[in-house]
Amino acid sequence: MKATTIRAAAIQLETSIGNTHNNLKACQELAEEAVKQGATWIALPEFFNTGAIFDPKMVDVIETEQGVSAKFLQEFSAKHDVVIGGSFMCRLQKPDGSPAGVRNRYLCFSNGELIGRHDKDLPTMWEAALYEEGDVNDTGELGSIEGIRVGTAVCWEFLRTQTARRLQGKIDVLIGGSHWWSIPENWPKVLTRKLEKNNYENFIKTVQETARLVGAPVIHASHCGQIESQFPSIPFMNYKGELEGHAAIINAEGEILAHRSKEQGQGVVIADITPGYSGANQKIPDSYWLRGRGVLPTISWTMDGFFGKRWYKKNVLNQ
């Protein structure tokens, strides 16, 4: 691959949970703003069309690859001659056309053509109630665009070392995004203040470390804004918090080139990056997790994952 520079943009969306129409409208406006600023690669976040909370109503906004969200990606890419990608809850279909399970599917288009797809490896916490894990052989490699090898990672995939193992030395650009929420704000501050500080810092550092370990620049989109959710594991308790922001463009050494905090709200970050494997060949840690998750996320990962999977099988699978 010849050395080149591309102008990359990452979208930060103030999410309207479950409102596909409003979210797609906002994504279109933000992506058009990026195009006006010269961006030719645009990252939308995980669940760019709906956000994701544990609520039975979320089942009603699950789409297929023939739905309006995939169509938006394809048409925007074709109209503006750009690369654009994002993930959404996608209902799979059996060979006879009947519905099957749901995946958190990332699609990437270039000039209106599908470059590749990736299903997130594991649902995070309450997400287990909404979709199932991806195939073990899905590496996150999407394909090639004019000789540039493209890969993706979604949210807590940045937190697991297996992502770096799958992609190290195999891609020249990583385009992805997250839907990372805060420690609950409606719980006692004496318990959560320090945990939230660590959670917020941990988020962006996982993306930086993944860039460094993979050896390629990262275009990382995200969400901001307040959210509320139920818990699959604790029906009498609810969650109130916020989405953590951190839309960023990061180079192959893990340095932040452009960044948007949650306090800055919805918007676009743009920077020029040079695709290509850095050749750093950094040692990937032997641990399963790239960084520690903290006490509350660890508990939620276990409990909401267990009860979420049961709810998914009863209420989402094959519906």
The predicted structure's pLDDT at residue 1: 47
H or E segment and range at residue 241: strand 238-244
Q: Which residue has the tokens 């009603």?
A: 60
The predicted structure's pLDDT at residue 84: 98
C-alpha R_g of the chain? 18
Res. 160 pLDDT band, cuts 50 70 90 = very high
Residue 159 has φ and ψ, to the nearest 5°, of -90, -10
Distance from the Cα of residue 19 to its chain's centroid: 18
The predicted structure's pLDDT at residue 278: 78
Segment 174-181 shows an average pLDDT of 98
Segment 241-269 shows an average pLDDT of 97
Q: What is the DSSP letter of 147?
A: T
Q: What residues does 289 pair with on adjacent strands?
A: 160
- How far is residue 298's CA from residue 313's CA, in Å, rounded to a whole number? 23
Q: Which domains does the chain have, with CATH numbers?
A: 6-315 (3.60.110.10)
The predicted structure's pLDDT at residue 274: 95
Res. 281 pLDDT band, cuts 50 70 90 = low
pTM of the model: 0.96
Interstrand relation of 148-151 and 141-145 (parallel, antiparallel or unpaired): antiparallel
Closest by CA position to 185, among listed 246, 234, 227, 235:
227
pLDDT at 2 over 60: no
Sign of the torsion angle spanned by Cα atoms 122, 163, 49, 98? negative
Segment 155-171 shows an average pLDDT of 96
Q: Which of 32-36, 202-206, 270-274, 280-284 has the lowest mean pLDDT?
A: 280-284
User: Is residue 78 packed enough to be buried (19+ CB in 10 Å), middle (13-18) or exposed (0-12)?
Assistant: middle
Q: Are 77 and 68 in contact (CB under 8 A)?
A: no
User: Please, what is the Cα angle at 81 between 146 and 264, to 5 degrees?
Assistant: 105
Res. 102 pLDDT band, cuts 50 70 90 = very high
- How far is residue 258's CA from residue 250's CA, in Å, rounded to a whole number? 7
Who wins on pLDDT, 236 or 259? 259
Q: Are 237 and 231 in contact (CB under 8 A)?
A: yes
The predicted structure's pLDDT at residue 3: 54
The predicted structure's pLDDT at residue 95: 80
